[in-house]
Structure 1
Amino acid sequence: MTNVALTDRFRDRLIRYQEEHRRRNIPQPSFYVKLAERKRLADRVRRLRGIGDEPIREMATKIGQKAVAQKAGVYTAEIYQGPFTSLSEFELNALPNRFVIKPIVGSGSNGVFLLEKRDGLLFDIVSKKSYPPDLNSLHSAGLSRFEGCPLIAEELIGIDGLPSVDWKVFAFFGEIGFIRQMDLRNPQKCYKMWSSKGQDLGKIDKYSLEYNSALPPPNDFEALVNAARAVSLSINTPFVRVDLYESKRGPSLGEVTFAPGSLWKHTYLQIFTPEWDRKLGEMWEEAQARLIERVGDNYIP
């Protein structure tokens, strides 16, 4: 046995001892805790900058995410008009029959209207409500909360005339934790959890919507996973939620979220079973380690 072999053997024993010692004395990783820390940090940055509840990174805006999609080689919806600070600036007649009005900041479906020109009115495809043929009517319908926030009109992504299901991919710098399928197109909103290999994970979280294991997979599951992985690897961060939609052009990037949902509002709890909270926390830390290897001294977690 050579001295080199002895050295390697001693090193391996030391590493195992250190890992076992840490596991006994350091709390196990928690996704919930890491997400809470990220949210607190963002709030502290906002206070330092004297800004309100808005993204602290340009790439977290709807405009910035267009650049993210381009870098990752993933399609994203075309912006027809905007950004404008007033609904009256949009030219309704110049917009296609189906389009989306949304703020450039914010997350999820807040302030997002999927509209269709129908029978001389504006029909909301999700809520099934009709509005006068004047975009200013959307102000009282929900956009008043985004007073002063720039708005855009963009392409409505869908297949066969229907809006796409929302696929929310929890990605850890190239590794996929899970995929949350959200079907919000009907009054009975529901969701399903998938592994990156297309398996039904069951209700591993405490989301308040109805769980529907009968929801079908996307047309091309592999393409969806690969798109999320590409977006995740294009951003030097250990965790990001990648929202994707199906389209005739393949997966389309809808949104990139660094701190998804609310930690406190019951509808958007990012709380998982103890097993999955630890698993996702470990994936977060593993992603941090890979980032250190990739970026070197330019990345300090």
Structure 2
Amino acid sequence: MKSFLIKFLRNTVGAVTYEKIRARQYLGYWPNIHEPKTLNEKIIQAKLFRIPSSAVMLSDKVAVRDFVKGIIGENYLNKLYFSGDSLTGVDFSALPEKFIIKANNGCEGNIIIREKSKANIQDIDHSINHFLSKSFGYLTNEIWYLDIKPQILIEELMEDEKGNIPDDYKFFCFNGVCKMIQVNKDRFSNHNILFYDEEWNKFPFGLSHYPYAADLSKPENFDEMKNIAEKLSKNIEFVRVDLYSYNKTIKFGEMTFAPNAGWKPFTPNKYDLILGSLW
């Protein structure tokens, strides 16, 4: 669907009707928003009607750091080199050769720098400011993102000895209880998305078009990661807590209240209904 038509629909037909049209486009079925049964339907209902007020702070990649520090400790946070409204005034000479630049108010806007000496700072500044100027969340009905003050953060680039980004462990938590884990493996090469239950038994489904035939050994620190995710999600009806296992340590990624906006189909799609029973 063309971007101008998407914006026109969002501006004219209202959030609920727009949501049904967009979800139908991605999921292949009309969502029952008022009596949801599938997991995606329940994510959609929650994002439209029941997102907690704390979602603004917890979705802000800068503000959430204080929350994480208070619950589980500062050592679970990735090293932060800078946070602010713009890159103006950043002393790039003081930064390491590798780092990552992020926008605090969405899942986009990440810029990986592996060779600082070859980076074009003006181009980077233009790219990150372009993203910050967007109303992220409006076209996906994740409107709590609109209340986050846009900022930039520069963090340590987490890589293994081969230069690979560590696997991303995403814990689906319901009132502080983890019931499913999504693993994004080899995101920048051979991207697989795998799902496991809370005991690390592999589920026989995937997400959208991503391969899911591979299998992973249970991480040595899995129990600690799950415990951290459950602590951070306590008293929250539903949230996904993203963590990294990096150099024998655990690092916090982010907290997400509407994964993929509720618009990503499971493969085979019958598992969307089966997973609805988790909530």
Cα distance in 1 for partners of 2:204, 2:128 equals: 33
In 2 relative to 1, CA 272–237 (structure 1 residues): closer, same or farther, beyond 3 Å? farther
Pick from 152, 169, 172 the counterpart of residue 167 of structure 1. 169
Corresponding position: 1:35 with 2:12? no
Cα distance in 1 for partners of 2:223, 2:165 equals: 21
Shift of residue 77 of structure 1? 1.2
| Secondary structure of 1:191 counterpart | strand
Corresponding position: 1:256 with 2:255? yes
Please name the residue that 1:93 is paired with. Answer: 93
Moved more, 174-183 or 55-64: 55-64
Pick from 176, 183, 189 the counterpart of residue 181 of structure 1. 183
Task: State the AA in 2 paired with 1:253.
Answer: F
Corresponding position: 1:283 with 2:278? yes
Cα distance in 2 for partners of 1:137, 1:202 equals: 43
Pick from 101, 112, 115 the counterpart of residue 114 of structure 1. 112
Pairs aligned (count): 227
Cα distance in 1 for partners of 2:159, 2:104 equals: 20
Shift of residue 56 of structure 1? 5.7
Shift of residue 270 of structure 1? 5.3
Shift of residue 217 of structure 1? 3.8
**Percent of paired sites with the same residue:** 23
| Secondary structure of 1:208 counterpart | coil
**Which digits, 9 at most, give the CA deviation of each residue in 1:84-118, with x for residues without a partner?**
2x2333221111222210011102xx111222236
Task: State the AA in 2 paired with 1:37.
Answer: Q
Cα distance in 1 for partners of 2:81, 2:195 equals: 33
In 2 relative to 1, CA 179–143 (structure 1 residues): closer, same or farther, beyond 3 Å? farther
Shift of residue 194 of structure 1? 1.6
Shift of residue 61 of structure 1? 0.3
Q: Which one has a bigger Cα radius of gyration?
A: 1
Shift of residue 230 of structure 1? 1.7
Shift of residue 232 of structure 1? 1.4
Cα distance in 1 for partners of 2:102, 2:240 equals: 19
Report the TM-score when normalising by structure 2.
Answer: 0.70
| Secondary structure of 1:223 counterpart | helix
Shift of residue 28 of structure 1? 7.3
**Which digits, 9 at most, give the CA deviation of each residue in 1:238-257, with x for residues without a partner?**
11000101123622111001
- Unpaired runs of 5+ residues, structure 1, are 1-25, 46-54, 123-131, 285-301
Tell me how large the CA RMSD over aligned residues is. Answer: 3.0
- Unpaired runs of 5+ residues, structure 2, are 1-33, 135-149
Cα distance in 2 for partners of 1:112, 1:229 equals: 27
**Which digits, 9 at most, give the CA deviation of each residue in 1:49-95, with x for residues without a partner?**
xxxxxx962221012221231233151112211222x2333221111
Cα distance in 2 for partners of 1:206, 1:163 equals: 20
- 1:196-215 to structure 2, matched below 5 A, reads 196-203=198-205, 205-215=206-216
**Which digits, 9 at most, give the CA deviation of each residue in 1:2-53, with x for residues without a partner?**
xxxxxxxxxxxxxxxxxxxxxxxx967432222111222379x9xxxxxxxx
| Structure ranking higher on relative contact order (CA contacts 8 Å, 6+ apart) | 2
Report the TM-score when normalising by structure 1.
Answer: 0.65
Please name the residue that 2:72 is paired with. Answer: 73
- 1:12-51 to structure 2, matched below 5 A, reads 29-41=37-49
**Which digits, 9 at most, give the CA deviation of each residue in 1:144-184, with x for residues without a partner?**
22238311111223443542111111111232221111124
Please name the residue that 2:13 is paired with. Answer: none
| Secondary structure of 1:57 counterpart | helix
